[in-house]
Structure 1
Amino acid sequence: MNTEWHFPIMIFASLLVFFLVIRAVLPGQEFLQKKYTIVLLSVLVVIVGMLFGKYGATWGLPWWIYYPIPMLITVLLPPLVLKLRKAKTILYLVLSFLSAPFIHVFFSFCFGWTEYMPFWKIPTVQILFQ
């Protein structure tokens, strides 16, 4: 079965969750003032990070390159670029670390798509109705 079409949907969902995380961290006015920076940041963190992770594995890069680089970009870049103070950085880090498992659980449980975090097995909702 061809699952290549899952990836753009997962990118879109990740972008949405990233925006929600940033919105939860920044007050409304600051979020609006930094909207262009946030869009650029989301392209780098989410789209470039996910493409690097996916194609880094496909190109045969070692896991210790294609996995940690997007993770480090996700962890380090937003607090630095958005100039978050300590409390906001901690909130961002907690929410960002929870977001990937949340997205994986959602897609795995609801649709049976396991590509987001293939090493973590989640049963699908279909199992409950068998």
Structure 2
Amino acid sequence: MNTAWHFPVMIFASLLVFFLVIRAVLPGQEFLQKKYTVLLLSVWVVIVGMLFGKYGASWGLSWWVYYPIPMLMTVLLPPFVLKLRKTKTFLYLVLSFLSAPVIHLFFSFFFGWTEYMPFWKVSSMQILFF
């Protein structure tokens, strides 16, 4: 079965979740004022980060390069670029660390797609109920 189309769907879902996390961290007016910064940050952190993570192994990079770099981009860039204070940075970090497992649980459970975090096994709804 061709699963190549899963990756763009997961990128879109990750973008949506990233926007929601940033929106939860920034007050409404500040979010609107920084909308272009948030958009560019989203493209860099989510799209570039996910592409680097996915294709890093294909490029012959070691796992300790292609896995931590996108993670560090996700953790370090938004607080720095958006100039978040301590409490907002803490909230962002908590939400960002929770977002990947939540996305993985969603796709694994409801659709049986395990590519997002392949090292973490989650039974799909299809196996449990059918």
Shorter chain as denominator, the TM-score bin is: over 0.9
Aligned to 1:25: 25
Letter in 2 for 1:25: V
How do residues 79-94 of structure 1 correspond to structure 2 at under 5 angstroms?
Answer: 79-94=79-94
Long gaps (5+) in structure 2: none
Aligned to 2:121: 121
Question: C-alpha displacement at 1:87, in angstroms?
Answer: 0.1
Aligned to 1:105: 105
Using the alignment, how far apart are the partners of 2:11 and 2:4 within structure 1?
12
Aligned to 2:68: 68
How do residues 45-60 of structure 1 correspond to structure 2 at under 5 angstroms?
Answer: 45-60=45-60
Report the 3-state secondary structure (helix = DSSP H, G, I; strand = E; otherwise coil) of the residue aligned with 1:52: helix
TM-score normalised to structure 1 length: 0.98
Identity %: 85
Using the alignment, how far apart are the partners of 1:60 and 1:112 within structure 2?
28
Structure 1 segments of 4+ aligned residues over 6 angstroms from their partners: none
Aligned to 2:16: 16
Letter in 1 for 2:118: P
Aligned to 2:3: 3
Report the 3-state secondary structure (helix = DSSP H, G, I; strand = E; otherwise coil) of the residue aligned with 2:70: helix
Letter in 1 for 2:35: K
Using the alignment, how far apart are the partners of 1:34 and 1:23 within structure 2?
11
Question: What do you get for the CA RMSD once the two structures are aligned?
Answer: 0.6
Long gaps (5+) in structure 1: none
Question: C-alpha displacement at 1:60, in angstroms?
Answer: 2.2
Using the alignment, how far apart are the partners of 1:129 and 1:74 within structure 2?
36
Using the alignment, how far apart are the partners of 1:70 and 1:129 within structure 2?
35
Question: C-alpha displacement at 1:128, in angstroms?
Answer: 2.1
Question: C-alpha displacement at 1:58, in angstroms?
Answer: 1.8
Using the alignment, how far apart are the partners of 1:18 and 1:57 within structure 2?
24
Q: What is the count of residue pairs matched by the alignment?
A: 130
Letter in 1 for 2:64: W
Using the alignment, how far apart are the partners of 2:129 and 2:115 within structure 1?
23
Aligned to 2:38: 38
